[in-house]
Chain A
Amino acid sequence: DAGITQSPRHKVTETGTPVTLRCHQTENHRYMYWYRQDPGHGLRLIHYSYGVKDTDKGEVSDGYSVSRSKTEDFLLTLESATSSQTSVYFCAISEKSSGKNHEQFFGPGTRLTVL
């Protein structure tokens, strides 16, 4: 299995508090992604990174920010958590090579509950 860890694995927080989720990889892959998964919606891309300090928005980026200061770490921050951000969050990594740009490896997920 690809070396991807997410922390914390479970978190319960209150509305209005800031929350940071961490994704850590040991594969030295260039690309990192944050998805959320909710019942009835499948996985939706929040933000992604194509290199250190290079990030861009996905399809559901409102209310989230990201940072990537090192190749191995990709942080997802909820500046002021809302109940609608209760979800399971998955991090993924990939390394661009011919025809395999979309072979992504996923972490175990973080279950976030915002009360």
Chain B
Amino acid sequence: DAKTTQPPSMDCAEGRAANLPCNHSTISGNEYVYWYRQIHSQGPQYIIHGLKNNETNEMASLIITEDRKSSTLILPHATLRDTAVYYCIVSWGSGNTGKLIFGQGTTLQVKP
């Protein structure tokens, strides 16, 4: 699985968009980009994933560059409850195991 690089921490003002970057320059053609988050002491929570196209769901948007070497998770209107560690993970989407390799993630602090 490809390695990802994320900034260790970011701040965001409440109500503003939070843009969390992720570099995955060694991603291969069949690897998906997944985003999870972990709110303090809880189990991680799936947010969104994508292969090539941009994706949007009720929680967030995922923007993947054309060369797929980086992506950005967008929380359109961050709230205090979005304060969490956000993990960007690259892995096979059609593999038979579904193993995820978590890195250190980005700690997002949403401030009033």
Contact = CB atoms under 8 A, between A and B. Distances in A.
Interface of A: 31, 33, 35, 42-45, 48, 50, 56, 58-59, 90, 92, 94, 96, 98-109
A42 B92 contact: no
Interface of B: 32, 34, 36, 41-46, 49, 51, 87, 89, 91-105
A102 B34 contact: yes
Contacts of A108: 42-43
Given A99-B49, A99-B93, A106-B45, A94 B98 contact: yes
Q: Top 10 nearest A-B pairs by Cβ distance?
A: A106-B43, A43-B102, A42-B102, A101-B98, A103-B46, A94-B98, A102-B98, A106-B44, A90-B43, A31-B98
Contact of A42 (B32, B49, B87): B87
Contact of A99 (B32, B36, B43): B32
